[in-house]
Amino acid sequence: MTAARPFRSDPPVADLAALFAQVRAFSMALVEGLSDADATVQSMDDASPAKWHLAHTSWFFETFVLRDLPGYRPFDPAFAYLFNSYYEAEGPRHPRPQRGLLTRPSLADICAYRAHVDAAMAGAMAMLTPDQAALIELGLAHEQQHQELLLTDLLHLFAQNPLHPAFRPQRREPAPPPPPMGWRDGAEGVVEIGHAGPGFAFDNEGPRHRVLLAPHRLADRPVTAGEWAAFIADRGYQTPRWWLADGWAFIQRERIEAPLYWQRDGEGGWLSFGLDGLHPVDPAAPVTHISLFEADAFAAWAGARLPTEFEWEAAAADHDPASGNFLDAPVAVRPLPGDHGLFGGVWEWTGSAYRPYPGFRPAAGAVGEYNGKFMSGQFVLRGGSCATPRGHARASYRNFFYPHQRWQFNGLRLASDPCS
């Protein structure tokens, strides 16, 4: 890595050591109470076992920081193959769809692996170069991403069980209906987009550059589950005029008629499965677990559209990223009524394809594979969700998924043009 680092990081070493301990401990707190079976099973190719998340995030530090330090001995040389994710430069790896077949090493073995890596990292903190410090902060942001994935993957796993087990039981209180959706004028003209200044950012958040925004409006809150139920009742899933061709083919092929984890309650209403178990759908909460195809269809039905990622970022520039409903503790997480800010609650689909900004260059070596090679066929989401660790999101943060994917806490906010 050169002085012009694609991953920006300038933390004092003492602060970095404290952050490392905090993030690593939080991952372990999230899996407290899981059995070895809970942590081993893989429910679909897009998801990974909890055990794998714990090991892969340790593999990252072992591979990109510890391996090059004098005297370091890997915990188990076989783990280099087992827990590489997609880094071609690091050699062959265990096939992703077969991660759930790794009954060995056990969860206890993985915990021992983490302890081994953590002890070695603690000893290395006093002798870090600036480049190594940058890699560690990247690794911690990477682990926070995996904390969210760990929860969403567990939710998908538990949703396959007809017993509807709760990962973390939690009492739900009735919520008042949300206010009617309002609209706010968005920024227009030439605006600057992308990360700038001190602090960490992923390479795909830059370079900062100028874009031209036409006059537009943004809704003052995300779409709610109650509004989504109205879309369903109006035969939104049965009316092809609202759908992109690929989206219509997708819902027909998969026989989709509602957001993921929704099911009929037998009395004309809906239930939804979450990390806290099966409950009636809360009409005041933001709708979640929808694909881009569904979000786009709802927007068309509502006489609106999805915002571009640049419209969203311009609106979020003056908002506090820490103000939303984020993951604070290892408890059941869900979007809450009143999640009306731009940050937290649900990731918000945009209509923007995930592509590089002008002047983007991936880093040299394996870490350059982190974001750049995925800039094809995916769409950008903004804002963070109730499963995103607090402090992880910012206005320039670009999440991305394929348009059919629904297992994340994905929702939507509407946009419209003046003539709409």
- What is the tens place of the pLDDT at every residue in 301-339? 999 999 999 999 999 998 999 889 999 988 889 999 999
Q: How far apart are CA 117 and CA 62, in angstroms?
A: 7
Which of 52, 63, 54 has the alpha carbon at shortest distance from 23?
54
How far does the chain reach from its first CA to its final CA, in angstroms? 48
Name the pTM for this structure: 0.95
- What is the tens place of the pLDDT at every residue in 37-47? 999 999 999 99
- Token pair of 69 as six digits: 């330090």
Ramachandran quadrant class, 391 (left: phi over 0; alpha: psi -120 to 50; beta: rest): left
Domains of the chain: 13-159 (1.20.120), 183-416 (3.90.1580.10)
What is the pLDDT averaged over residues 334-348?
Answer: 94
The least confident of 30-34, 78-82, 250-254, 267-271 is 267-271
**The Cα angle at residue 349 between residues 316 and 317, in degrees rounded to 5:** 10
DSSP-derived 3-state class of residue 226? helix
What pLDDT is recorded for position 2?
30
By the 8 A CB rule, do 211 and 319 touch? no
**The Cα angle at residue 321 between residues 317 and 324, in degrees rounded to 5:** 130
pLDDT at residue 97 above 70?
yes
- What is the tens place of the pLDDT at every residue in 177-218? 888 999 999 999 999 999 988 889 999 999 999 999 999 999
The least confident of 11-20, 126-135, 237-246 is 11-20
105 upstream amide cis, omega within 30 of 0: yes
Q: Could you tell me the sign of the dihedral formed by the alpha carbons of 45, 51, 57, 63, in that order?
A: negative
* pLDDT bucket at 3, cuts 50 / 70 / 90: very low
- What is the tens place of the pLDDT at every residue in 396-407? 999 999 999 999
What pLDDT is recorded for position 5?
42
Which of 256, 219, 181, 224 has the alpha carbon at shortest distance from 335?
224
By the 8 A CB rule, do 369 and 203 touch? no
- What is the tens place of the pLDDT at every residue in 373-393? 999 999 999 999 999 999 999
Return mean pLDDT, the chain.
94
What is the pLDDT averaged over residues 106-116?
Answer: 98
pLDDT at residue 6 above 50?
no
